[in-house]
Chains A and B, each alone.
Chain A
Amino acid sequence: MRNIKTHKVEQLVMAAVAFFWCFLLWFASAAFVPTIASQFDLGIKGVALLASSAIWTAPLARPVAGWLADRIGATRAFVIILVVCGGFSILSGMAQTFAPMVGMSEYHFLFWTRVIVATAGVSFVVGIQHVAQWFESEEMGAAEGLYAGTGNVGAGVGALLLPRIYGLDYHAAFIHLGIVAFIIAGWIIWRGVPAKNMEKLHMAKKTATLRDTAFVWTRHAAIALMLAYAMSFGLEIGMNAWLPGYYKMGFAGAIKALGFHSLQDVQIAAGSFAAVQSFNASLFRPLSGWISDIWQRNRWMPFPLLSKKLQYSPRIHWLMFALLCITTMMILLTIAGMSGHIVASVIILAFFGVAVAFGTGGTFAIVPLMFRERPGTAAGFIGGVSCIGGIIYPLIYGNVATSFGIGGIHLGYAIVALVLFIPFILYFVWAMHWDIHPEGHGIGSKEKWLGDSLLPAIDGVLEPVGIE
């Protein structure tokens, strides 16, 4: 390990800035969807496909990124992500030049290079691992919350500022974003240190095994938390990509009536409305961790069926409250959309964003406590697979919109809430009802997945711990 004099707050800031920029790269396309859709004559399905494409690589790449961060260190993983994604961002901005060279149409070149740029989203897991390597458990909640919340706001900043700074010139935006990614990579090479000490660095490498991964992936509690994260973070990123197009098409008349006529003005308006969700979902996330602490301190456990005897049971109840809020807000979004009242829709969207933040912050207030010995693997699974939600939701919205005709664009939220979210919540309740070791129950026994070699670290998961 390099001998650099640093402080954990510097490493936290570094991780947050890198993640923030990766998030900006990730959702820069969404900010320009109205322009791209107009330039290439995309229909509603084309917009939905473009929106969902930003998330295609995340479910598979995030667990790999978590494993890579454990194996080679988070700082090196960050540099690889920033250089690759920054490079392809520059290429996507020069699609007019490079597309003919590789025999592709400009739109296809732009589309596929943006899919590669979107892998920047895997940096979430890398940063979670980096922060965990530097902070102690007593301050982990605040540190992870600050890291994730500050980083996530990159999407909102993109939606809010990029159309204002660059107008319709998305080419320049993509090139500039890529150049800054290279600068941040240089900063990490200069000042980044992968762990607080050698012991932590070696422990991370030691638990990054296929058996450990299989064990975590098959726990009911891990699956339930993954679904909870799909209801919150998966939904957030799906909405980041979907909302600018939704407001442009779903409220075309209302936006025009408000005085937004040119494509640029409509794009700014739609992006601003979409940013409400993104900003609230991102910036209230650290507060969610803090509220989780308050519930924990006061031992608030209002819900029946959920365990009340675990040390961290109040945090599970807080997450349950958040999941119910998210489901309610989805239904209210549909009602506001059907009414055609754009201001009501944006106000509900603001509360929706807060509810999503409650869910994301609440989930990762539990993960490090429940999967204390292998937070990287658990974070990779929960933070990665849950992104599938971000792919599926916009596709459902698009298909519902085309199936139901006029007004159908608003129905997708309620359908997702009723058909997907309520079953997810029921599974969450079942997986969290055990008073002893909810994380020990799963598909297959510990012996099956870990063999006879049961590492000492495994004891922490399976022995009766945390019971009052």
Chain B
Amino acid sequence: MSRHGITEAITADESHVHEPWYKYGIGVLFLEATIAVAVSVFAISMGLSGKPVAFKKHVVFEKKPALVAPAPCQASSGLSDCTTVTPEKS
């Protein structure tokens, strides 16, 4: 039973009339291959031009210094005990 079952299935694979979705599936298959080629061309052209394309230019992560100097005193601040402080150097 299994023998004929498999043989028939394989033969049917070649002569089968496909359902409507199948042609769209093959269309998607070629679309995906086209996207792959487009991405390759994009990456190679970017490599040649040396210009990265970034959607987010602003850098979020950055290493910050451990000590931040306070803002300089201004005469207009009205503080009588205003003194200038410089950060210690390690």
Among B10, B16, B36, the residue within 8 A (CB) of A279 is B36
Q: Which residues of A contact B51 (CB under 8 A)?
A: 259
CB distance from B52 to the nearest CB of A (A): 4
Interface check A149, CB cutoff 8 A? yes
Q: Which residues of A contact B22 (CB under 8 A)?
A: 139, 142
B15-46 CB mask vs A (1 if < 8 Å, else 0) is 01011011001101110110110011011101
Q: Which residues of B contact A265 (CB under 8 A)?
A: 52, 54
A275 touches B39 (CB 8 A): yes
B29 touches A287 (CB 8 A): yes
Interface SS majority for chain B: helix
A106-141 CB mask vs B (1 if < 8 Å, else 0) is 000000000000000000000000000000011101
Q: Give the contacts of B49-77 with A (CB-CB under 8 A).
A: 49-63
Q: Give the contacts of A49-94 with B (CB-CB under 8 A).
A: none
Can you name the residue of chain A whose Cβ is closest to the Cβ of B52?
A: A268
Interface check B81, CB cutoff 8 A? no
A372 touches B6 (CB 8 A): yes
Interface check A18, CB cutoff 8 A? no
Q: Which residues of A contact B84 (CB under 8 A)?
A: none
Interface check A363, CB cutoff 8 A? no
With the chains together, A160 CA to B38 CA distance in Å? 13
Q: Give the contacts of A153-193 with B (CB-CB under 8 A).
A: 153, 156, 160, 163-172
B28 touches A146 (CB 8 A): yes
A169 touches B61 (CB 8 A): yes
Quick one: given A165-B56, A346-B47, are A286 and B10 in contact (CB under 8 Å)? no
With the chains together, A137 CA to B36 CA distance in Å? 28
CB distance from B5 to the nearest CB of A (A): 7
With the chains together, A428 CA to B61 CA distance in Å? 49
A143 touches B60 (CB 8 A): no
B40 touches A350 (CB 8 A): yes
| Residues of B in contact, count (CB < 8 Å) | 49
A284 touches B12 (CB 8 A): no
B56 touches A167 (CB 8 A): yes
Choose, from A204-212, A396-404, A411-419, A460-468, the stretch at the interface: A460-468
With the chains together, A149 CA to B35 CA distance in Å? 12
With the chains together, A350 CA to B81 CA distance in Å? 68
With the chains together, A273 CA to B6 CA distance in Å? 44
Q: Give the contacts of A339-359 with B (CB-CB under 8 A).
A: 342-343, 346-347, 350, 353-354
CB distance from A176 to the nearest CB of B (A): 13
Report A's interface with B, CB cutoff 8 A: 9, 35, 39, 137-139, 141-143, 145-146, 149-150, 153, 156, 160, 163-172, 258-260, 262, 264-265, 268-269, 272-273, 275-276, 279-280, 282-284, 286-287, 290, 293, 296-297, 311-312, 342-343, 346-347, 350, 353-354, 369, 372-373, 456-457, 459-460, 463-466
Report B's interface with A, CB cutoff 8 A: 1-3, 5-7, 9-14, 16, 18-19, 21-22, 25-26, 28-30, 32-33, 35-36, 39-40, 42-44, 46-63
Pairs of residues from A and B, 3 with the lowest C-beta to C-beta distance, nearest first: A259-B50, A460-B2, A169-B60
